[in-house]
Amino acid sequence: MSEPVIVEVGLGERAYDILIGPGLLARAGTELSRRLPGTRAAVVTDQNVAAAHLETLKAGLEKGGIQPAIITLPAGEKTKSFAHLEEVVDGVLAAKLERGDVVIALGGGVIGDLTGFAAGIVRRGMNFVQIPTSLLAQVDSSVGGKTGINSPRGKNLVGVFHQPKLVLADTEVLDTLPIREFRAGYAELAKYGLIDRPDFFAWLEGNWTKVFVGGAERAEAIAEACRAKADVVARDEFETGDRALLNLGHTFGHALEGATQYDGARLVHGEGVAIGMALAHRFSARLNLASPDDAARVEAHLHAVGLPWRMSDIPGELPDAEALLGFITQDKKVSRGALTFILTRGIGQAFIAKDVPASEVLSFLKENHPGQPK
């Protein structure tokens, strides 16, 4: 079996490795016991992931002498709630795990965010390991230590920064993903090229079909995305500066998720990000910051891979532009009422724009809203 690609997240004494490659579930116990010898573990997962991958992980952990306690939750965004946070905390305590033991997240972004939050608060902070099973989680949410749950008032509004000790990104588990979920994760992959790696975006334009198929190109694409995120996290762990660039597409995207009431049948997170990135480039062109040709190029690539790229691609009716602006102003990327967006001067030239006038955003939303007179 080929050796995994290793990407280090450089945080001094809290630095950790991201391992990327096939067969890592089966090696989990070996990799874990090498870094955290003698620990006991709890695995938090959801029903769908458990059916596909839990037995493989358990066997892999047992090879390293780890007999894990298992906590299985319902699948879906609604699991990121106070009720399920309490369930995970209680399960870890019931297993009599100590502070030096480890809580493992086996799943996509929902499970990773929830489990990391639980690990960050149980016994005032336990060891945490991410084993992301979706492409979106492998390239984004599993790296960087942002954890949390949703509130009825908005997405990811309750949480802590709690870095993992290790991330195992098994590229083979992605073969079991529905194509819609893989595409949604690909949006976050492309995001890194659009932020500050134009050569990577160009590479994806030429190689995206190979990334979808699997093999070396998939592992390299994930590794490059993880390098990009690791670089940003090392510079700005707590999102006081540059790390906000990782929110490219997310301010519009989160508003659209809220507008669809987080209904995954209509819109999943990565699809919201795809539309949000296209809107961010189109908005930048409207403000004469970037060429309309760049916006068209982004839209063409998202369309080629089968992702939605405009609001009219979302099934069903959307709230009007004023209501969408309301979702944007509720987003946590708003500071003291001023609207902050990640805008761009071109492919790979994203920047943080503060004090964006709400009136400009509103008129842009009206122009791009499928059901509103222009």
Q: From the candidates 58, 84, 146, 165, which is the catalytic residue?
A: 146
124 is catalytic: yes
Q: From the candidates 80, 183, 254, 282, which is the catalytic residue?
A: 254
Q: From the candidates 3, 96, 124, 336, which is the catalytic residue?
A: 124
Q: From the candidates 84, 247, 282, 368, which is the catalytic residue?
A: 247
Between CA 210 and CA 189 the distance in angstroms is: 14
Q: Is 109 labelled a binding residue?
A: yes
SS3 of residue 209 by DSSP: helix
188 is catalytic: yes
269 is catalytic: yes
Q: Is 84 labelled a binding residue?
A: no
Q: What is the DSSP letter of 54?
A: I
SS3 of residue 68 by DSSP: coil
SS3 of residue 147 by DSSP: coil
239 is catalytic: yes
Stated as kind and residue range, the H or E segment containing 137 is: none
User: Looking at the chain, which runs of residues are DSSP E strands?
Assistant: 5-9, 16-21, 41-46, 69-73, 102-107, 127-132, 149-151, 154-158, 166-170, 339-344, 350-356
How many CA atoms within 13 Å lie on the side-chain side of 44? Answer: 34
Q: From the candidates 181, 239, 257, 299, which is the catalytic residue?
A: 239
Q: Is 80 labelled a binding residue?
A: no
SS3 of residue 110 by DSSP: helix
Q: From the candidates 27, 191, 269, 282, which is the catalytic residue?
A: 269
Which whole-number Å values give the CA distances from 35 to 79, 82, 132, 297, 354, in the listed order? Answer: 30, 31, 18, 44, 42
Q: Is 250 labelled a binding residue?
A: yes
Q: From the candidates 31, 87, 181, 188, which is the catalytic residue?
A: 188
Q: From the candidates 229, 281, 282, 301, which is the catalytic residue?
A: 229
Are 134 and 109 spatial neighbours (Cβ–Cβ below 8 Å)? yes
Q: Is 155 labelled a binding residue?
A: yes
Long-range contacts formed by 22-25: CB under 8 A, 24+ apart: 22/170, 22/171, 22/172, 22/219, 23/170, 23/172, 24/131, 24/168, 24/169, 24/170, 25/53, 25/56, 25/57, 25/60, 25/131, 25/168, 25/170, 25/172, 25/173
247 is catalytic: yes
Q: Is 146 labelled a binding residue?
A: yes
Strand duo 154-158 + 149-151: pairing: antiparallel
Helix, strand, coil distribution of the chain in percent, nearest 5: 55, 15, 30
229 is catalytic: yes
- Residues at the binding site for NAD(+) are 109-113, 133-134, 146, 155
Active site residues: 124, 146, 188, 229, 239, 243, 247, 250, 254, 269
- Residues at the binding site for Zn(2+) are 188, 250, 269
- Residues at the binding site are 109-113, 133-134, 146, 155, 188, 250, 269
